[in-house]
Structure 1
Amino acid sequence: MFFSIIIPLYNRPQEIDELLYTLTKQTYLQFEVLVIEDGSVNGAKDIVKSYSEKLDISYYFKDNEGQGFTRNYGFARAKGDYFVVFDSDCLIPEDYLETVKDFLLEHQLDAYGGPDGAHSSFTPIQKAISYSMTSPFTTGGIRGNKKHIGQFHPRSFNMGISREVWERTGGYILTRLGEDIEFSIRIQSLGFKIGLIPGAIVYHKRRTSFKQFYKQVHFFGRARINIYKHFPSELKLVHFFPACFTIFLFLGLILNLLKHPLAAFCNTMLGLWVLLIFFHSLAVNRSVKVAFLSIFASFIQLAGYGLGFIQDFWKRIILRK
């Protein structure tokens, strides 16, 4: 089995250097790497070139179109039987391709996704953000958990598709705003088999500050409404949870300002949730600092997503703009 690893890149030369280094350590060697620079100003051509003797690697530069169409650009030039997509801010364990190859030979998936985790080298904020994006008390375990809620949809920071999937689907039809989920739904609608490979973990850095993280999750909230516009049946009750959480915070603030009797109930419920986050993160990360930061990250994750969701729900569904 020959893999083609597709990596879209936009103004992140340091990240691609770290990612490519981890790929030189792979125990399974039947793969090529395609780095597609999506109109970057701060390019990484020299960094990619420095790996030419360590990896079967190709570098391409194209006009900026967004990550979805940039992946398509890579698919069209890939030689592999299976295409693997990584975000540039990932670190890849040395047995990743070996794990994926063994699983695919046994289970014959047409498309797969894998979980993400926090590497030991990550900063406390990065570990807290990673926790908030994978915790059962925030995302409900939908991002790479074996017991996720609802239909599993691979996320494009860590996913793979067969060549046949690419040839029949034509790849992404959205370049941003939920492009990976739309693609996954369309793959499934054509009868292809999709599954989670639990051992195919990557270490996903995500964002390095809470401000950057807020912008990212706000975008994710908006993206869920964009997916709804293409697939109305994919807007589930669980997707309203961050918006409900955000409204609950707003109402709780008003009740406290008005000194309403219900304020005590809101404060108690919120306090219990905070304690759940703290002690669960402490058990997962074994760090009081990360557990404390996980509280802030979880607030940002839910409120940021909720505000983005509410914004586009009001604009695109209620007002029909």
Structure 2
Amino acid sequence: MQNIKFSIIIPVYNRPKEIDELLASLVTQNFDAEFEVLVIEDGSSETCKAIVESYNSQLSNVSYHFKENSGAGASRNYGMQKALGNYFIILDSDVILHKNYLSEVKKALEENYTDAFGGPDAAHKSFTYLQKAINYSMTSVLTTGGIRGKKQAVGKFQPRSFNLGISKIAFEKTQGFSKMKNGEDIELTFRLWDNGFKTQLIDKAFVYHKRRSSIPQFYKQTFGFGTARPILNKKFPSTAKITYWFPSLFILGLALGIVLALFGNVYLISFYYLYFIALLLDAIFKNGIIVGFLAIFTSLTQFLGYGLGFLKTQFNNNN
């Protein structure tokens, strides 16, 4: 393994405040080696050029690049094509890094090198109650099975683009992200595997991920996730799992339970009642009362968005 030189790629679209917070967290890294930062402005009307340039004296190698709007995947590829390092770290603009992030990534890769990695996400203490509830819904064992932060066997973890690393060699072999609007990170993972590259979860390389700031935005995001999965299942049949149907079945079962309850049959709806009580208690224990109650709404939103998005594409693909 050659000496690792990190290039951090950050696509951004109309979010200058988030870039300021992310760059500030890069300034405070407990990391001795040099690294470069490339901020790729994806055709924004509200640019962050002035903010990026204000960090020239604090970050030894930070650059700003403006391009026409073409989506996050193309912007990441653009950044990797211009990067000088041999290992690329892809971050969403709405994350903040823990001070040991880069040191944990380097340590893990030196101990067990893979050509790609992913890291989990967490809620920062400064986040709003709703952001913490969304984070709970996206990471809890009771909602997603905890797969986004669960230690998986090396070689088969599916990194997500908000916190993803890929070697220059792997990027050049796969040509990076496809033109898919949703699920492009998972699609890249499958192509990495097909080309013989391994992936891993570096569980200590977590980021504080703000995600969406409203229920409608979160619904739109999860709906997009749901629409992508049947496309991936069709493109990579060996990766399809019955568990991908669970959110859709959950929503259909809830609707049926409500109808049956109106006619006096409460057995099915009782299951959902017990489930949400368990979810509420778990969320309260981990995040407090307010986040606990909000987590019920964010989890319902997640199931509804993903489930309906999945059914929409699944139905269309079969016609």
Q: TM-score, normalised by structure 2?
A: 0.95
1:177 is displaced (CA, Å) by 1.8
Provide the residue aligned with 1:293 in structure 2.
294
Tell me which amino acid in the other structure corresponds to 2:275: W
Q: Which runs of 4+ in 1 moved over 3 A?
A: none
Aligned to 1:225: 230
How much does 1:32 deviate? 0.6
1:246 paired residue number: 251
Distance between the aligned counterparts of 2:225 and 2:180, measured in 1?
A: 13
Task: Please state how far the C-alpha of 1:151 moved relative to its aligned partner.
Answer: 4.0
Does residue 134 (structure 1) correspond to residue 139 (structure 2)? The answer is yes
Q: Name the SS for the 2:69 alignment partner.
A: coil
CA distance in 2, matches of 1:251, 1:228: 27
Who is 2:163 aligned against?
158
Partner of 2:303: 302
Q: Secondary structure at the match of 1:19?
A: helix
Alpha-carbon distance, 1:147 to partner: 5.6
The answer on whether the counterparts of 2:8 and 2:35 sit within 8 Å (CA) in structure 1 is yes
The more displaced of 57-66 and 274-283 is 274-283
In the alignment, which of 193, 197, 201 is matched to residue 188 of structure 1?
A: 193
Structure 2 equivalent of residue 107 of structure 1 = 112
In the TM superposition, residue 253 of structure 1 has moved relative to its aligned partner by: 2.3
CA distance in 2, matches of 1:295, 1:217: 15
In the other structure, the counterpart of 1:197 is 202
SS at match of 1:284: helix
Unaligned runs of 5+ in 1: none
2:271 maps to a residue whose letter is: M
Work out the CA distance in 2 between the residues paired with 1:9 and 1:152.
26
1:152 is paired with a residue whose SS is coil
Identify which of 64, 67, 70 aligns with 1:62.
Answer: 67
Partner of 2:273: 271
Q: Secondary structure at the match of 2:38?
A: strand
Deviates more, 1:21-30 or 1:301-310: 21-30
SS at match of 2:82: coil
Report SS of the residue matched to 1:84: strand
Residues 66 and 175 in structure 1, CA contact (< 8 A), matched pair in contact too: no
Contact 2:98 2:206 in 1 (8 A): yes
**1:123 equivalent in structure 2:** 128
Deviations 1:187-236 (A, max 9, x none): 11111121110100000000111111111101110011221232122221
* Partner residue, 1:78: 83
SS at match of 1:76: helix
Deviations 1:76-119 (A, max 9, x none): 01111210000000000111000100110010111100000000
Letter in 1 for 2:41: E
CA offsets 1:124-146 (integer angstroms, 9 cap, x no match): 00000000000111111121212
Partner residue of 1:21? 24
Q: Partner residue of 1:8?
A: 11
Residue 50 (structure 1) aligns with: 54
Task: Write the letter of the residue equivalent to 1:20.
Answer: L
Residue 255 of structure 1 corresponds to 260
SS at match of 2:261: helix
**Root-mean-square deviation over aligned CA pairs:** 1.4
List runs of 5+ in structure 2 lacking aligned partners. none
Render the CA deviation track for 1:12-44: whole Å, top value 9, x for unaligned. Answer: 111111111111111114211000011111111
Cross-structure match for 1:38: 42
Matched with 1:95 is: 100
How far apart in 2 are the matches of 1:296 and 1:34? 37
The offset of 1:260, in angstroms, is 4.2
Contact kept in structure 1, 2:152 and 2:200, CA below 8 Å: no
- Secondary structure in structure 2 of the residue aligned to 1:142: coil
Q: Say if 1:141 and 1:147, in contact at 8 Å, map to a contact too.
A: no
SS at match of 2:47: coil
Q: Which moved more, 1:163-172 or 1:247-256?
A: 247-256
Instruction: Output the CA distance in 2 between the equivalents of 1:276 and 1:133.
Output: 16
Work out the CA distance in 1 between the residues paired with 2:43 and 2:236.
30
1:112 touches 1:159 (CA, 8 Å); kept in 2?
Answer: yes
**How many Å separate the matches in 2 of 1:278 and 1:156?**
29
Q: CA deviation at 1:275?
A: 1.3
Quick check: 1:67–1:175 contact (8 Å CA) kept in 2?
no
Do 2:25 and 2:97's aligned partners in 1 also have CA atoms closer than 8 Å?
yes
Superposed CA deviations along residues 230-255 of structure 1, whole A, max 9, x for unmatched, are 21222211100001011112212222
Secondary structure of residue in 2 paired with 1:58: strand
Percent identical pairs in the alignment equals: 50
